[in-house]
Amino acid sequence: MAFTGKYELESQENYEEFLEIIGLLNAKTDHKVITEVLQDGNDFTWTQSIPNWTWSNKFSAGQECELETMKGSKFRALVTLEGDKILVPFPQYNFTAEITEGKLVMSCTTPGEKGVTFKRVSKRI
């Protein structure tokens, strides 16, 4: 259960640029984001929360799953597990997550010339 745990935001890079590209600049927050991951084999429940807002997805690696964006739109995508990385192709960006040195490292990369990679590192709590 490499991913199972509760994590608190420690650092992030390119946050505002990423939110601007995906049209969520008004979602900018200075709150500490808490990410909770429950993993049972290839089945995951992934929840992120700040005061007054929670976003959660359930998915199975290796299967096409119905997921929800931060804006609340539903979509279908093939979630893959490559080595120790979870890969999810969201409509506006590609999401990758892995555990590195006991920390949850998530990256969201937008496509194109003006693409940006938003990186978030969270420590286990």
pLDDT at 1: 58
pLDDT at 70: 79
pLDDT at 83: 87
pLDDT at 24: 77
The tally of domains found in the chain comes to 1
pLDDT at 27: 63
Instruction: List the chain pLDDT tens, one digit each, 125 residues.
Output: 589 999 999 999 998 889 888 887 666 666 789 999 999 999 999 999 988 888 899 999 999 999 998 778 999 999 999 988 999 999 999 999 999 999 999 999 999 887 899 999 999 99
Range(s) of the domain holding residue 111: 5-124
What's the Cα-to-Cα distance from 94 to each of 7, 30, 42, 81, 125, rounded to whole Å? 21, 24, 19, 13, 26
pLDDT at 64: 96
pLDDT at 71: 79
Please tell me the distance from the alpha carbon of residue 76 to that of residue 65, in angstroms, as a whole number. Answer: 5
Provide the CATH number for the domain around residue 49.
2.40.128.20
Please tell me the distance from the alpha carbon of residue 120 to that of residue 16, in angstroms, as a whole number. Answer: 12
Structure tokens, 55: 């976003």
